[in-house]
Amino acid sequence: MLSKQEDLFIIRKDGTGLRQLTDDNYKDRTPRWSPDGRRIAFYSDRSGMWQAWTINPDGSGLQQITYSPTLVTAPIWSPDGNYIYYRNAGGPPSFFDIRQPWTEQSPRHYLR
């Protein structure tokens, strides 16, 4: 059985300007706009494992931003745009500083 393709699209509130951002065999899910509107975070299986990615609204600048040994889902921006919060398999929600490379920091757990 073939799995269904899942790509990202954007459209203006008035229904005009439909634009496809991704067009491939990977699954791209739960897109979230950055607070400044300059990036979109989402999670995808394009690296062989579910990880968080970002892309520009024009479809350029596709970038993997997490390299977790566990599955990463549902990335969400902090209100100031400096952090990404995400769910990881088998653990509490975590977050990291988007301004620093993944390899230069240790993601922290978000506990209430």
Each residue's pLDDT tens digit in the chain (112 positions)? Answer: 456 889 999 999 999 999 999 999 999 999 999 999 999 999 999 999 999 999 999 999 999 999 998 899 999 999 999 999 999 887 888 999 999 988 888 777 766 5
Residue 97 lies in a domain: yes
Per the structure, how many domains does the chain have? 1
Residue 60 lies in a domain: yes
Domain range for 51 is 27-109
Residue 2 lies in a domain: no
Residue 50 lies in a domain: yes
Check: pTM over 0.85? Answer yes or no.
yes
Residue 10 lies in a domain: no
- With beta carbons less than 8 A apart as the criterion, state whether 74 and 58 touch: no
pLDDT of residue 11: 94
pLDDT of residue 91: 81
pLDDT of residue 53: 97
Residue 16 lies in a domain: no
Radius of gyration (Cα) for the chain, nearest Å? 14
Q: Phi/psi at 35 (nearest 5 deg)?
A: -55, -30
